[in-house]
Amino acid sequence: MASVVTFARSQLGKRYARGGEGPHAFDCSGFTKTAYARAGLRLPHSSNGQAARARIVSRAAARPGDLVVGRGHVGVYMGRGMMIDAGNPRTGVVYRKLYAGLHIERF
């Protein structure tokens, strides 16, 4: 998952665009779809579809590169309770703490 983490870090500051899969803008599932493609995983452009392909792991067992899943949202777990995601048009791609309502999943 090192390639997922490296890609996620390299996209910080990019803008949010609904339906975006890069290279200049992303939505949440387009961001994770493109990141996981770097690790050879083909994912749908849908947060629910991506979550359905993974299994839940505890936060204590979370590793960098795991999928962060919330209601209608996905991101990449970076370790130490932090994630990178394409949050919304106001934030774009950001590095931030996990917030309530999220869980970790692994492919």
Catalytic residue among 28, 45, 66, 103: 28
User: CA-to-CA distance for 36 and 75, rounded, in angstroms?
Assistant: 11
Catalytic, 85? Answer yes
Catalytic, 27? Answer no
Catalytic residue among 24, 45, 66, 73: 73
Catalytic residue among 24, 66, 85, 103: 85
Catalytic, 28? Answer yes
Would you please indicate which residues are annotated as catalytic (active-site) residues?
28, 73, 85
